[in-house]
């Protein structure tokens, strides 16, 4: 069995606030070092954001700008996000470790950011791999291509998400699907097999 976990707003929160803060930090970091003039940076980021529907993909694709992305990610995540935000860990290692089989992360965040966050959350030994957006793999959930990287037709897969729409393709592929959310499913998402309020509740499900 392979468990595929989302990251933002599932394993920590508030993900959206963290993402916004990260975007702002990245822009400041970039402009302060004179890597781009701000107008040029903003125009290019807006183009990428429109093309890929998310600022995170835009950030990842900024590697095409020749950004020292790993250095940038490290400095911002370590020194700014945890200091400035009340980042909440929404899953303890044992909540995930107790599940039978392999566990991986599939995130729509840039891969270096996702890997850094997993380490910050103390979950690096729980997951065998952490996948995010890269220039080589720019497809994001719920695009079907996004799931190819973790698919394994010979194994039972389980997708764990806080976003209902991101469970539709896994259901079509025969995976089991779990929605983790404070709020119950809308009733218009028949592709959700299980619903729980927290990651810690997953262990009690009959998958």
Tokens for 17, please give them.
């606030």
CB neighbours (10 Å) of residue 131?
A: 20
Q: Which of residues 138 and 142 has its CB atom nearest to Mg ion in the complex? A: 142
Provide φ and ψ at 158, rounded to 5°.
-130, 125
CB distance 199 to 10 below 8 Å: yes
Q: Interface residues with Mg ion (CB under 5 A)?
A: 6, 8-10, 162
Minimum Å gap between C-beta 142 and Mg ion is: 12
Minimum Å gap between C-beta 165 and Mg ion is: 11
How far, in Å, are 32, 108, 110 from residue 36 at the CA level? 9, 25, 20
Minimum Å gap between C-beta 157 and Mg ion is: 18
Q: Which of residues 95 and 162 has its CB atom nearest to Mg ion in the complex? A: 162
Q: Which of residues 67 and 192 has its CB atom nearest to Mg ion in the complex? A: 192
The 8 Å CB, 24+ separation contacts for 51-56 are 52/138, 52/140, 53/140, 54/108, 54/140, 55/19, 55/23, 56/19, 56/108, 56/109, 56/110, 56/113, 56/133
Q: Which of residues 111 and 162 has its CB atom nearest to Mg ion in the complex? A: 162
Minimum Å gap between C-beta 65 and Mg ion is: 26
CA angle 15, 50, 59 (to 5 degrees): 50
Distance (Å, whole) CA 148 – CA 135: 15
Q: Which of residues 18 and 30 has its CB atom nearest to Mg ion in the complex? A: 18
Minimum Å gap between C-beta 7 and Mg ion is: 7
């Amino acid at each position: 069995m392979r468990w595929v976990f989302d990251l933002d707003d599932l394993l920590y929160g508030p993900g959206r606030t963290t993402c916004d803060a990260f975007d702002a930090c990245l822009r400041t970091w970039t402009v302060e070092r004179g890597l781009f003039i701000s107008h040029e940076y903003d125009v290019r980021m807006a183009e990428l954001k429109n093309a890929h529907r998310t600022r995170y993909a835009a950030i990842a694709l900024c590697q095409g700008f020749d950004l020292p992305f790993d250095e940038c990610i490290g400095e911002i995540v370590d020194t700014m996000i945890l200091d400035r935000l009340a980042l909440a860990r929404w899953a303890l290692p044992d909540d995930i470790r107790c599940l039978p089989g392999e566990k991986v992360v599939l995130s729509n965040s840039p891969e270096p950011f996702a890997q850094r966050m997993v380490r910050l959350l103390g979950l690096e030994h729980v997951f065998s791999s952490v996948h995010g957006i890269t220039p080589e793999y720019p497809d994001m959930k719920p695009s079907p291509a996004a799931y190819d990287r973790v698919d394994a037709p010979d194994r039972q897969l389980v997708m764990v998400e806080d976003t209902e729409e991101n469970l539709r393709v896994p259901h079509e592929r025969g995976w089991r699907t779990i929605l983790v959310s404070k709020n119950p499913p809308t009733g218009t998402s028949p592709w959700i097999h299980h619903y729980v309020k927290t990651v810690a509740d997953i262990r009690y499900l009959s998958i």
